[in-house]
Amino acid sequence: MLVDPDTLRTLPPREWVAGLAEVIKYGVIADETFFAYLEQRMDRLLRLDAEPVGHVIARSCEIKASVVERDERESDLRRILNYGHTIGHALESLGGYRKLIHGEAVAIGMVQEADLARHLGLCAPDVVERQRTLVRRAGLPDALPETTFGRLWAAMQHDKKVVQGRVYCVLPERIGRVVIQPLEREACRQWFEQQDKQKTHARRAAARLRR
């Protein structure tokens, strides 16, 4: 396998930034030290500085290879590579694969799945906020696009982690550690409604400031 970091300079900026979503994912699922490295060097990564780019490529490959090597038959462990993809794939589908490119959808998916984990009592709020902050610093989206819970839940039913009609999702317990567990529709609906209320409150507050 040949890795040529200079090739990245030929990409449109949007594509390079979208690729950083998958890099952030590796920190969340397997390596808090790597996640902290990204927090410290995101500005340099956006400038395509050679040293951090080389390290990020190497460490991302190491993490993925380690997961795949331990799970050659694609059982539960390899599923952690799909962090951010349960909601992310659903958003791509709802947008007709035109509004969001893959990395952007995964970025939103990671932040939202982390927030769902917080709602379910699996992780502390700072696990969500560190991801949200890093995703935003990378120039990636983090908020759910306008949709309904019914549409989002229906789109999630097509995820490859659905087993016997149950949606399984990769959820963080902390930065560097995730678990895979089935989602209950009612708990997800309550989380979604909480999100909606927060959005409504934010819009009203912004409107008052403009008066």
Contact 21, 110 (CB under 8 A): yes
Residues 6+ away with beta carbon under 8 Å from 4: none
Q: What is the pLDDT of residues 128-168, one digit of tens each?
A: 999 999 999 999 999 999 999 999 999 999 988 888 889 99
155 against 204, higher pLDDT: 155
pLDDT more than 70, % of the chain = 97
Q: Which domains are assigned to the chain?
A: 5-183 (1.20.1090.10)
What pLDDT is stored for residue 72 in this prediction? Answer: 66
CA distance 27 to 40: 13
By the 8 A CB rule, do 67 and 77 touch? yes
* Selected residue with higher pLDDT from 203 and 165: 165
Mean pLDDT for the chain overall: 93
pLDDT at 177: 98
Q: What is the pTM of this model?
A: 0.93
Cα separation, 163 vs 156, in Å, equals 12
What CA–CA distances, in Å, run from 69 to 7, 77, 142, 177? 27, 10, 31, 18
H-assigned helices in 31-181: 32-46, 50-70, 85-94, 102-119, 125-137, 149-156
Which residue's structure tokens are 């560097």? 176
Using one digit for the tens of pLDDT, what is the confidence trace for 98-112?
999 999 999 999 999
More confident position, 72 or 67: 67
